[in-house]
Amino acid sequence: MTTSVEVRCPVGPRRLFLKLQLEGVPTPVVDGNLIELACADCRKALEREEGTRVKQVLHYYNIAGEWISTTVVR
């Protein structure tokens, strides 16, 4: 049985980054095995909020589609 997990922005969940297709077996989650996704919505919001230039806002997810952390690149 295949299930899908939607990976969305943790700040504004209306932004859908991708859908992970998971098989019926548990996905082994290993530390450091992360998916890095750049979020233009968060970058623009942060620039408006702070009034400074932001190069990228990167969200990190594990391979099960769970949000791990966010990094701001200036």
Q: What is the pTM of this model?
A: 0.85
Q: Per the structure block, which two tokens stand in for 44?
A: 């623009």
pLDDT at 31: 75
pLDDT at 63: 86
Please enumerate in sequence order all residues whose Cβ is within 8 A of that of 49, keeping only pairs 6 or more positions apart, or say none.
none
pLDDT at 11: 93
CA 14 to chain CA centroid, nearest Å: 12
pLDDT in tens, the chain (74 residues): 778 889 999 998 788 999 988 777 776 777 778 999 999 999 999 999 999 999 999 999 998 889 999 999 99
What is the C-alpha to C-alpha distance for residues 9 and 67, in angstroms, rounded to an integer? Answer: 9
